[in-house]
């Protein structure tokens, strides 16, 4: 299995003070309960399994380190972690390291870094991407519901079990409030955490802080009302794909703490979405973390748990959320192939682009409930821009393009490229729209006469190309005559490959070939 350096930390909510040690739900205010009636959820499907490493006491997942899964637990093994928490009547939590195989199976818990196991509770832990810096939380025996955030560095010269050195308290820690669930972002530039520090929206909120070149956190900021509620938001985990997963009992869910996901923007977050009832239950689901794109771990106190909280493995099938549509000409509704459609995210970044198919269709994979902008460009048409918000599932957004008028010079009627079926002289429907521009010019100028000249690229024999180009010029002529233009005003001629614009001599690019394949509308003098 790849080195799993995804940082996610998973802690617990207490009665009244909402600490990391208990997940007993408090009664929510009436206005919060009302918001939980409508659940907006993903349509992904999760299969959840017990891991077999759980004890009769609480076992809570945390993160990955050196191909190991880290948890904290109140199971009491040996002298380390000795002592009892008066608030829970259970042994203090200690950190444990668990073997994980290439299928995500867990086995053999053993103590992790005894130097970090101090008096009181050990809980949330996270590592920098290079795994040389650790961030962990600890509560002291006299104040076991209050967790403080610490930082330590890995001593690469030490061949011992106590290799974590330079332990220091993070400056914005305070005994007046608790800091829990540290999670370092995949790029190592930020650390996320939960806290009940003053100035939040109520209960525990999610925060982020900057990490400087030395890995020191500073400038903590609340994630705002899009993420936080008057209840509790905890257990932030940021995936390498820039998604923020977290647990909440304030957003609409199935009861207790549910897992939600939100997309991280440059300056904001998308609306949180419940991961759905195949993962979430009426109990608490916390400590969500991905090990691969299709597998991960979650902690829950659901009915079949062995102890208070157990660690579960999940696999899941991600369902497609699509932004689909058809590009067509606004008045005729004729589909427009070869339209360049771009998908722009809320931060103004072009995240995908594609040309429409033969039937004018396009399809993008998108994040549900995200704001996007669709742009479309096609030669001979006005540029198109449309803001759109995706839904859960598929969102249909069609593109209605308006034609530009033909440009008339002293010698030519200039329009966009005329398309034919491959190796045929039959006009494509979209090309009739282009010829309509020529028709409009001839109608407005009844004395005007034109010559239609058709050209091919250099592929194929000279004789074949000459015949093909003559037929294509004739097809354009016949269309205009059927529209009502007198045949005395139009002459057509095919030139094959005798008047190539490119100088590539057979070793041409697609762009050069396309430049050679053209139809010209020359104004007769």
d(CA 67, CA 6): 11
Tell whether 452 and 513 lie within a shared domain.
Answer: yes
- ∠ Cα 265 237 350 (to 5°): 25
Domain that holds residue 412: 407-523
Does any domain span residue 6? no
The DSSP bridge pattern shows strands 258-263 and 243-248 to be: antiparallel
Tell whether 84 and 198 lie within a shared domain.
Answer: yes
Q: What is the DSSP string of 206-267?
A: EEEEEE-TT--EEEEEE--TTT--SS-EEEEEE-TTSEEEEEESSSS-SSSSEEEEEEB-SS
Instruction: Confirm if 228 and 200 have CB atoms less than 8 A apart.
Output: yes
Does any domain span residue 5? no
The DSSP bridge pattern shows strands 394-396 and 322-329 to be: parallel
DSSP symbol at 141: G
Does any domain span residue 201? yes
Instruction: Confirm if 239 and 268 have CB atoms less than 8 A apart.
Output: no
Does any domain span residue 303? yes
Q: Residue 512 phi/psi, 5° resolution?
A: -70, -40
Domain end: 317, 340, 369, which one? 317
d(CA 379, CA 242): 36
Tell whether 395 and 412 lie within a shared domain.
Answer: no
Q: Would you give the end-to-end CA distance of the chain in angstroms?
A: 75
- Tell me: the pLDDT tens digits for 173-195? 999 999 999 999 999 999 999 99
Tell whether 313 and 173 lie within a shared domain.
Answer: yes
Q: Which of 464, 466, 455 is nearest to 499 (CA)?
A: 455
Element (H, E) at 512: helix 510-516
Domain end: 280, 300, 317, which one? 317
Instruction: Confirm if 520 and 411 have CB atoms less than 8 A apart.
Output: no
Instruction: Confirm if 231 and 252 have CB atoms less than 8 A apart.
Output: no
Query: What integer pLDDT is reported at residue 120 of this predicted model?
Result: 82
- For the chain, what's the residue count? 525
Which CATH number goes with the domain that contains 394?
Answer: 2.60.40.1120
Tell whether 90 and 228 lie within a shared domain.
Answer: yes
Tell whether 245 and 312 lie within a shared domain.
Answer: yes
Tell whether 259 and 140 lie within a shared domain.
Answer: yes
Q: Which of 230, 226, 236 is nearest to 286 (CA)?
A: 236
Q: Residue 435 phi/psi, 5° resolution?
A: -65, -25
Does any domain span residue 519? yes
Does any domain span residue 1? no
Tell whether 83 and 203 lie within a shared domain.
Answer: yes
Q: Residue 35 phi/psi, 5° resolution?
A: -70, -15
203: left (phi over 0), alpha (psi -120 to 50) or beta: left
Query: What integer pLDDT is reported at residue 298 of this predicted model?
Result: 98
pTM over 0.95, yes/no: no
- Tell me: the pLDDT tens digits for 68-87? 999 999 886 544 445 777 77
Instruction: Confirm if 49 and 295 have CB atoms less than 8 A apart.
Output: no
Tell whether 283 and 353 lie within a shared domain.
Answer: no
Tell whether 458 and 381 lie within a shared domain.
Answer: no
Three-state SS for 486-508 is CHHHEEEEECCCCCCCCCCCCCC
- For residue 208, give every residue at least 6 positions away whose Cβ sits within 8 Å of its Cβ, in sequence order, or none: 190, 191, 192, 193, 220, 221, 223
Element (H, E) at 290: strand 285-292
One pLDDT digit (tens) per residue for the chain, 525 residues:
333 333 332 222 333 333 444 332 333 333 333 444 689 999 899 999 999 899 988 999 999 999 999 999 988 654 444 577 777 777 888 899 999 998 899 998 988 876 676 678 889 999 999 999 999 999 988 788 899 999 999 887 765 556 788 889 999 999 999 999 999 999 999 999 999 999 999 999 999 999 999 999 999 999 999 999 999 999 999 999 999 999 999 999 998 999 999 999 988 999 999 999 999 999 999 999 999 999 999 999 998 887 789 999 999 998 889 999 999 999 999 999 999 999 999 999 999 999 999 999 999 999 999 999 999 999 999 999 999 999 999 999 999 999 999 999 999 999 998 988 778 888 999 999 999 999 999 999 999 999 999 999 888 899 999 999 999 999 999 999 999 999 999 999 999 999 999 888 778 898 888 888 899 999 998
Instruction: Confirm if 332 and 82 have CB atoms less than 8 A apart.
Output: no
- ∠ Cα 129 134 140 (to 5°): 155
Q: What SS3 state is found at 442?
A: helix
The DSSP bridge pattern shows strands 205-211 and 217-222 to be: antiparallel
Q: How many domains does the chain have?
A: 3
Domain end: 401, 420, 450, which one? 401
Does any domain span residue 4? no
Which CATH number goes with the domain that contains 279?
Answer: 2.120.10.30
Q: What SS3 state is found at 470?
A: helix
Paired strand residues for 149: 137
Instruction: Confirm if 203 and 195 have CB atoms less than 8 A apart.
Output: no
Tell whether 95 and 163 lie within a shared domain.
Answer: yes
Tell whether 164 and 241 lie within a shared domain.
Answer: yes
State how far the alpha carbon of 282 is from the alpha carbons of 173, 386, 486, in Å. 33, 40, 77
Does any domain span residue 24? no
């Amino acid at each position: 299995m790849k080195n799993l350096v995804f940082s996610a930390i998973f802690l617990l909510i207490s009665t009244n003070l909402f600490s990391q040690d208990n997940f007993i739900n408090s009664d929510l205010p009436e206005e919060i309960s009302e918001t939980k009636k409508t659940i907006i959820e993903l349509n992904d499907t999760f299969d959840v399994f017990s891991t077999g490493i759980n004890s009769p006491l609480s076992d809570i997942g945390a993160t990955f380190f050196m191909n190991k899964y880290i948890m904290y637990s109140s199971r009491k093994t040996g002298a380390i972690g000795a002592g009892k928490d008066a608030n829970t009547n259970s042994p203090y939590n200690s950190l444990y390291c668990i073997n994980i195989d290439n299928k995500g199976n867990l086995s053999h818990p053993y103590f992790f870094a005894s130097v970090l196991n101090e008096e009181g509770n050990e809980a949330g832990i996270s590592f920098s991407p290079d795994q040389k810096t650790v961030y962990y939380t600890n509560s002291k025996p006299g104040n076991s519901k209050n967790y403080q955030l610490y930082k330590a560095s890995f001593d690469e010269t030490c061949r011992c079990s106590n290799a974590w050195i330079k332990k220091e308290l993070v400056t914005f820690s305070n005994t007046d409030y608790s800091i829990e669930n540290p999670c370092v972002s995949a790029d190592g530039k930020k650390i996320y955490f939960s806290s009940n520090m003053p100035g939040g929206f109520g209960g525990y909120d999610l925060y982020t802080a900057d990490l400087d070149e030395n890995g020191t956190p500073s400038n903590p900021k609340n994630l705002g009302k899009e993420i936080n509620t008057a209840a509790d938001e905890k257990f932030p985990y940021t995936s390498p794909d820039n998604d923020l997963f977290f647990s909440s009992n304030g957003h609409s869910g199935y009861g207790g703490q549910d897992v939600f996901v939100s997309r991280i923007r440059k300056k904001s977050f998308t609306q949180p979405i419940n991961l759905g009832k195949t993962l979430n239950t009426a109990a608490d689901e916390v400590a969500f973390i991905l090990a691969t794109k299709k597998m991960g771990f979650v902690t829950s106190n659901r009915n079949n748990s062995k102890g208070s909280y157990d660690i579960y493995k999940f696999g899941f099938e991600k369902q497609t959320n699509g932004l689909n549509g058809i590009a067509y000409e606004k008045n005729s509704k004729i589909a427009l192939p070869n339209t360049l459609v771009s998908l722009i995210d809320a931060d103004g970044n072009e995240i995908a682009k594609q040309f429409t198919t033969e039937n004018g269709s396009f399809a993008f994979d998108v994040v549900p409930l995200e704001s996007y902008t669709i742009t479309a460009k096609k030669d001979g048409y006005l540029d198109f821009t449309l803001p759109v918000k995706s839904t859960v599932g598929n969102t249909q957004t069609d593109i209605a393009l308006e034609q530009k008028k033909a440009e008339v010079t002293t010698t030519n009627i200039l329009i966009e490229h005329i398309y034919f079926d491959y190796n045929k002289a039959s006009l494509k429907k979209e090309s009739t729209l282009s010829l309509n521009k020529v028709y409009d010019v001839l109608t407005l100028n009844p004395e005007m006469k034109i010559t239609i000249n058709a050209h091919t690229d250099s592929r194929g024999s000279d004789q074949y190309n000459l015949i093909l180009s003559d037929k294509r010029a004739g097809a354009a002529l016949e269309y205009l005559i059927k529209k009502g233009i007198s045949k005395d005003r139009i002459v057509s001629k095919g030139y094959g490959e005798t008047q190539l614009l490119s100088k590539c001599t057979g070793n041409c690019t697609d762009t050069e070939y396309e430049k050679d394949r053209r139809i010209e509308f020359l104004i007769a003098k």
